[in-house]
Amino acid sequence: MISVLIADDEIRICKLIKKIIDWEALGFKIIDEVYDGMAALKLIEKKKPSLVITDIRMPELDGIGLIKSVRERGIEAEFIIISGYNDFDYAKSAVAYDAFDYLLKPIDEDELQKTLLNVKKKIENQSHIKTKLELSNMQMLGQDMLAVINQTKKNASIASLNQTYGTDFKEGSFNIILALCDTPSSESRQQVQIQCQEIISRFKNKHSEGLFEQVFMERQSDNRFMVVVNTDPNQPQAVQQMAGLLQQAYREKKEKPSEFSMTFCIGEPVNDINALQKSYQSAVNVAKARVVLGKDRIIDAAQIADKIESAKNVLDVRAEKRISVLFDVFDVKGFAREMERQFEAANEQKKSNLLIFHQIGYELADLLDKSIFRKKAQLDNDAAFTKEAIIAKINNCAEIAQIQAVILDTFNKFIEAYSELRDKGGDKIIQEIKAFVAENYMNDIGLDDVAKLVCLNPSYVSGIFRKKAGENFSEYLINHRIETAKEMLIDVKYKIVDISQMVGYNDSKYFSRIFKKKVGVNPTEYRKLYI
């Protein structure tokens, strides 16, 4: 709604203006009415309406003086001047002060409505342009702050930032609040990103006590959102209050409890904007602690500093040797059991070391990396199997099961990739599958059966079959059955219902539908072509 203030020393004119127009239907909202120019100026300074409808002649301050005073104060507002016939030439001078339009009394309803629609277009266009400029400015500020955090930009100046972006940074404390959005697998990550953007955007320029400045930054690549918070060092609770406001907004925004969770991690405070990387790194470590402490909460580095030191050599030498052998012989089930035992054993240490489960993940990643190196496999996508790539995934985990899944998934994918390399790009696998289909097409077989045949993951088999054979496995099976049925239909000694069962379809009606879809005619019509 576009806010409107009406100013006229004649009360009846104010009432008439309010009455003759359906303001809400046009997208306007009258916020007040006043009867002299000085009162109008005070209200404009306080409420900052988008549109002012004012009489040309008013006590204390006339319409022209009102516009001039508003412009001098740098307040953005559109003006529509109302004047009597005797004031017509005077009213025209209001254009020099950028009044939008002027109307003669008595006020004509149609003319006023037309003017309102025109001024609405102008206000909305200006708002759109202003929003785009503000977003662009915010993005550039965010990029500069990221450069400071990553230390690609050193010796950042508070004065320079304030001058360039109109911010209000001051000497004091600086903190990073890292907001992590953890989404269930069934949810659309893109939709969650949009929701999180809206949550954070609501708090731009809303400072609680003790806050000097705050800058919001979005990192869509890993569903992380950052806030740089500049506070009065005498009010350390201000950062906690800010995190609390963000958490409250997020909880009000999400539609259902299971939709997604958001954890707010507060890094340790630093006294120099150029030391923000230290606050960021502590926030990252705090984020890992949600594996033990739980998601959907606020975690402050200052409160758990003595519990987030990385442990060394959580796995003993015997466990390392067992796991290395399991990796070397591709024993997935055996490794899964051993990994589960190691995580269970670490439960006793989690109270004193909140990063214990991440450390186990790092050590497993190192052992897998060494096993892969021993095989000296030249894989097409070997970057996915490096220790660094595995650790990067582990660092984003919010649950123990996710850490385990990262290791297990990487292990499985390496086995599949290594098998593909070993079997000359999968050609041998395809030959085995086609031979199996030729011998078993009449039975109830599927992708899981052929995956067991070649001892590989079904999703991998599906992908390699489509890549090498040029079609999905299910389509290949259907086509093989239909081609076999076509040969049998030429021989009249077979009944169509028997042929249906002989090629793997117990439902003859379903067989007929599939046959017609593939061949263009039903089995009976096809047989007639050869009799």
For the stretch 235-248, pLDDT in tens is 878 888 888 888 88
Q: Give just the sign of the alpha carbon dihedral 286, 290, 293, 294.
A: positive
Q: Residue 236: is the preceding peptide bond cis (ω within 30°)?
A: no
pLDDT attached to residue 429 = 78
pLDDT attached to residue 337 = 93
Is the model's pLDDT at 449 over the cut of 60? Answer: yes
Which tokens in the block code for residue 202? 């609501």
Mean pLDDT over each residue of the chain, to the nearest integer: 84
From residue 382, alpha-carbon distances to 331, 378, 421, 519, 520 in Å are: 21, 7, 12, 44, 46
Which tokens in the block code for residue 515? 């046959």
pLDDT attached to residue 4 = 93
**Phi/psi-derived region of residue 296, left when phi > 0, alpha when psi is between -120 and 50, beta in every other case:** left
pLDDT attached to residue 139 = 73
pLDDT attached to residue 403 = 95
Task: Report the percent of the chain where pLDDT is more than 90.
Answer: 33
Beta strands 51-55 and 78-83: pairing type? Answer: parallel
Contacts of 53 by beta carbon, 8 Å cutoff, 6+ apart: 4, 5, 6, 7, 8, 17, 79, 80, 82
For range 32-43, the mean pLDDT: 91
Split at pLDDT 50, 70, 90, the class of 174 is very high
From residue 178, alpha-carbon distances to 145, 252, 278 in Å are: 14, 19, 13
pLDDT attached to residue 274 = 92
Of the ranges 21-25, 229-233, 371-375, which one carries the lowest mean pLDDT score? 371-375
For range 317-332, the mean pLDDT: 88
pLDDT in tens, 180-236: 887 765 455 566 666 666 666 666 555 556 778 888 776 655 677 888 988 988 887
Which tokens in the block code for residue 482? 């239909």
Is the model's pLDDT at 87 over the cut of 80? Answer: no
Split at pLDDT 50, 70, 90, the class of 480 is very high
Task: Report the percent of the chain where pLDDT is more than 70.
Answer: 84
For range 19-40, the mean pLDDT: 91
pLDDT in tens, 132-167: 655 566 678 878 888 888 888 888 888 988 888 888
Split at pLDDT 50, 70, 90, the class of 131 is low
For range 340-359, the mean pLDDT: 90
Split at pLDDT 50, 70, 90, the class of 22 is very high
For range 498-504, the mean pLDDT: 91
**CA separation for the pair 153, 144 (Å, rounded):** 8
Shortest CA distance to 55 belongs to which of 64, 42, 46, 68?
64
pLDDT attached to residue 462 = 84
Burial of 254 (0-12, 13-18, 19+ CB in 10 A): middle
Residue type, 50: S
Q: Quick check: 9 and 58 in contact, CB under 8 A? A: yes
From residue 427, alpha-carbon distances to 396, 433, 434, 474, 475 in Å are: 37, 10, 11, 18, 18
DSSP string, 452-485: HHHTS-HHHHHHHHHHHHSS-HHHHHHHHHHHHH
pLDDT attached to residue 238 = 87
pLDDT attached to residue 351 = 82
Split at pLDDT 50, 70, 90, the class of 269 is very high
Is the model's pLDDT at 459 over the cut of 70? Answer: yes
Is the model's pLDDT at 6 over the cut of 80? Answer: yes
pLDDT attached to residue 118 = 92
Of 206 and 111, more confident = 111
For range 281-302, the mean pLDDT: 91
Shortest CA distance to 153 belongs to which of 277, 281, 279, 278?
277
